[in-house]
A and B are shown apart, each in its own frame.
Chain A
Amino acid sequence: MEVNFNQPQRQSAIGVLVIFLEMIFVLVKNIWPIIVITLLKAEDKSVWIGLLIALAIMVYFGVYSFLKYRNFTFYIDADIDEFVINDGIINKTKTAIQLHKIQQVNIKQNFIQRLIGVYAMDVDTAGSDQKEGNIKAISHTLALALKSKLLENEGKAVIDQAEAEVAQAVQTKAPFLKINLVSLLKIGFTSNYVKSIGLILTFFFTIYENLHQAGAEDLVDTDRIKGLVDGYSLLYTMLVFVLMMFTVIFVINVVRTLIKFFDYTVTKQKGSLMLTYGLISTQSTILKPEKVQIVKVSENYFQRKLNVLEIKIRQAISDGKKDSKSLIEIPGCNTAERDEILKLLFHELPLKGVMMLPNFRRLIFSVFLIIILPLTAYFTLGKFVSPEVLEYQTGAWIYALLMATLLFFGYRNYRLFVADKHIIKQSGAWDVDQEIIQIDKIQAITTSQLFWHKSLNIGSLTMHTAGGNITFHLGQFDQINEYVNRWLYEIETSNSNWM
């Protein structure tokens, strides 16, 4: 099927339904406590009123989504090489994206779109803050056709890629990497504890807040919970609570990882990588090796034993707000797969070159800042202001011990490896991260030295890339300077394309 994208196009007709359902979904998500309360406490009359209101909203949404659908068109302006999207019922918006600025085209499917059988398409650019192209309902074949049209001129720009294309044509369809269920389970069990605790807390607070606002606290019987707690000893309750917490965290972690990354497939495509994943909504992202700025490989103790690790890839960004968008995660690959991916992204396996250690003052300073200072404040408060806080002394000591361990391991893992073409920074106490950058992707270099460190010959180094900064604190300063001079020489004598 050959489609002429140079004429203004509408979305799939079924797109009306997608817009409609999405609006309802958002509405229900926002006011569900009110709905629940109304249903629980309602009399006959208010149910009728409620139904009438619901009907009115439905009609309004229906008309709105139809108009929205009618007024949404997109086309490629071949004369000026721009992708143009027209949107808006009363306030019209015309978004024009220059084709060569397009960095990523994502084809996605959320739950509603999956039900109906259409796809959403996002067009990402590198620079601007402006709203970017988002098509809500498009058939899969059309989406693929449009995607290749949008990314077409990129192929024209890089001529030597044509050869690579031919070479890869044979192996295009076979997935380059497929992450199986076992690896995903391993990752789910061993990572993101802190994030999950945060999620659980947010979840409970949201529910509580919603119930509180709706004046339905009586739905939760606090007395019964109290009675339950009183029945057993405090220690036992604590133990049960901690155990329950851990179980919930594990379950949430595993479920979250599975839903987000189910069927994670990486395929090679015209010299770039195509990533597809997701259980409920399928994400598909294109990753171009030349746009990769920072690759972060993380691994903790359990993951090392189970031979799984996570890779996070940062692409070029211009402003901090789009941080999350430029981050691509590859969960659960083993060391061999990691090497394959790194080889593909960097054209060779980045070696750990000359190792650079931080000065021991780094450890002392962080111990002072994180342990000694808060503890001093705590005991001063206990001694002179309110002695009752000292009852929790055990907690303070546990904190100190825990932090000391973390800081020590953090310091021991803190390393900078400098090779001919790559720099690897290793850091972290439990999750050990290795951030890898290519020297020719460096945009600028900053060195920094406190005046009392001058005679000690220690100082810090920051490498700025288009995907963020990498800083190494308190290294041997004359060595840092030597590296900086070498890197500057390499950057300034080569004409390599950094993006």
Chain B
Amino acid sequence: MTEFSNEKIDTTQLPRYEAVPLTALHPNYWKELLVARGLLVLGLAIALVSALIFIEEFIDYRWIAATGFIVFVVLLLLITNITYKKKAYAFRTHDVIFRSGIIATNTMVIPYNRVQHVALHEGWIARFFGLAKIEIFTAGGMSSDLEIPGIAKEEAENIKQLLMGKIQKQL
């Protein structure tokens, strides 16, 4: 094992991950989220309406159900919007930064020399909007894997190539 020197580092002079300007996700990602949530809401609405039609006693609760449903939809939209706005990413020379979260702001940093492999995923809704998702895997298991959604297809392809190049160089 090569002994490496460990001179004193001026920590105030190091590049700061928290000060890096992050790139927001593609605006089409908001549309993608809306379609996905819309399908969910549609499914629920169908279930609710069929319950109203087929279960007789349920008719008494129709106003409560309707109000509940509307509140749920509004909340869902709000949360989805926050999720969308919060998500942002940045690729630095040596690591990738991804921010997400609703109540909390989670910032994850993965150095390229810890990346095991990179994958590109296109969901069917995402493909419709020309978007793709980059998945970055480390050896740390599920909790330290990273998914960056809502990146334009060609850009995602470029990023994947970039990451692959970085990993190759490490080996």
- Complex CA distance for A259 and B130, rounded to whole angstroms: 62
B120 to chain A, nearest CB (A): 20
Binds A, one of B23-31, B44-52, B106-114: B106-114
- Which of B16, B94, B143 contacts A464, CB < 8 Å? B143
- Complex CA distance for A481 and B106, rounded to whole angstroms: 13
Interface string of B6-20 (1 = CB under 8 A from A): 100101101111100
Q: Are B15 and A485 neighbours in the complex by a CB distance under 8 Å?
A: yes
A319 to chain B, nearest CB (A): 6
Does B142 make an interface contact (CB < 8 A)?
yes
Q: Are A464 and B111 neighbours in the complex by a CB distance under 8 Å?
A: no
Q: Are A466 and B109 neighbours in the complex by a CB distance under 8 Å?
A: no
- Which of B106, B107, B141 contacts A466, CB < 8 Å? B141
Please give, as numbers and ranges, the residues of chain B lying within 8 Å of A489 by CB-CB distance.
9, 14-15
Q: Are A319 and B105 neighbours in the complex by a CB distance under 8 Å?
A: no
Q: Are A464 and B107 neighbours in the complex by a CB distance under 8 Å?
A: no
A9 to chain B, nearest CB (A): 33
Number of A-B contacts (CB under 8 A): 104
A214 to chain B, nearest CB (A): 43
A489 to chain B, nearest CB (A): 5
Please give, as numbers and ranges, the residues of chain B lying within 8 Å of A451 by CB-CB distance.
103-105
Q: Given contacts A160-B1, A320-B141, A492-B94, are A450 and B108 in contact (CB under 8 A)?
A: no
Please give, as numbers and ranges, the residues of chain B lying within 8 Å of A481 by CB-CB distance.
16-18
Does B101 make an interface contact (CB < 8 A)?
yes
Interface residues of A in 230-250 (CB under 8 A from B): none
Please give, as numbers and ranges, the residues of chain A lying within 8 Å of B107 by CB-CB distance.
446-448
Does A482 make an interface contact (CB < 8 A)?
yes
- Which of B94, B138, B141, B144 contacts A317, CB < 8 Å? B141
The 23 sampled A-B contact pairs (Cβ below 8 Å) are A316-B139, A318-B139, A318-B141, A319-B141, A320-B142, A420-B6, A443-B114, A443-B138, A444-B111, A444-B114, A444-B144, A446-B109, A464-B138, A464-B144, A466-B140, A469-B143, A484-B18, A485-B11, A485-B16, A486-B11, A488-B17, A488-B95, A499-B139
**8 A-B pairs with least C-beta separation:** A464-B144, A443-B140, A464-B140, A492-B94, A444-B144, A466-B139, A444-B110, A443-B138
